[in-house]
Amino acid sequence: MFNLVASLLAIVSVIICVVHVSRISDVDVGWGWIIWSAGIMFSLGVVRFAWELTLRTPDEDADE
């Protein structure tokens, strides 16, 4: 269940980042690129975190 929530969170964060960038890129290109790159890095981090959670096995959880 937690893996599903993490995956949905990753998808939602990517969508929010894309929508946010499309709105601010017309206003100020300088800050737009900074926020865009930060949003992409955050989204990639969330996606990687969710991906690692889905690859974990119950045995790995028991070892910790």
User: What is the number of domains present in the chain?
Assistant: 1
Residue span of the structural domain in which 51 resides: 2-63
Residue 27 has pLDDT above 60, yes or no: no
Tokens linked to 42: 């955050």
> What band does 36 get if pLDDT is binned at 50, 70 and 90?
confident
* Cα 50-12-64 angle, rounded to 5 deg: 20
Cβ contacts of 36 within 8 Å, gap of 6 or more: 17, 21, 24, 25
Residue 23 has pLDDT above 60, yes or no: yes
Cβ contacts of 6 within 8 Å, gap of 6 or more: 46, 49, 50, 53, 54
**What distance in Å separates the CA atoms of residue 20 and residue 32, rounded to the nearest whole number?**
9
